[in-house]
Amino acid sequence: MLGIILTGHGHFATGLQSSIELIAGKQENFIAINFEEGMSSEQLQDKLREAYKELDTETGVVIFSDLPGGTPFNQSVLLSNELHSVRVIAGINIPLLLEGLFTRDLDIDSFVEAVLNAGKKGMVTPEQKIKKSVIDIEDGI
């Protein structure tokens, strides 16, 4: 099973972890790391390394970050450049993360593709959601 590290600015990571656990229950091989005010990038890097060691599996570890180009993302990329069993995905949302939690048996590259697709599909307007519901009803079960 792939390990998952969730990181981001402020309490983004633990806040999202709380939401996920409310929806899907407590998750194995899942660690949230906040990048809080006053932390240095080196301190964050140390926490990411510790989490990797705790989660390190033969199948790999995926780090989900809040914002492309931010410190949590940059530090995650540095780690992934050093450790080839690590992938980084930025700009996450709950549909993307839920898809990831339920498809961790995929190989790491297929996993990344699946969660990116889920993240894109998870972003809709109310009009799009209503239209999809009507189509689903008309098509039957």
Distance CA 65, CA 93 (A): 10
In angstroms, what CA-CA distances link 34 with 20, 56, 96?
A: 16, 19, 19
The residues assigned a catalytic role are 9
Query: In sequence order, which residues have a C-beta less than 8 Å from that of residue 90 and are 6 or more positions away?
Result: 64, 65, 66, 67, 68, 69, 70, 73
Query: In sequence order, which residues have a C-beta less than 8 Å from that of residue 52 and are 6 or more positions away?
Result: 3, 5, 61, 79, 83, 86
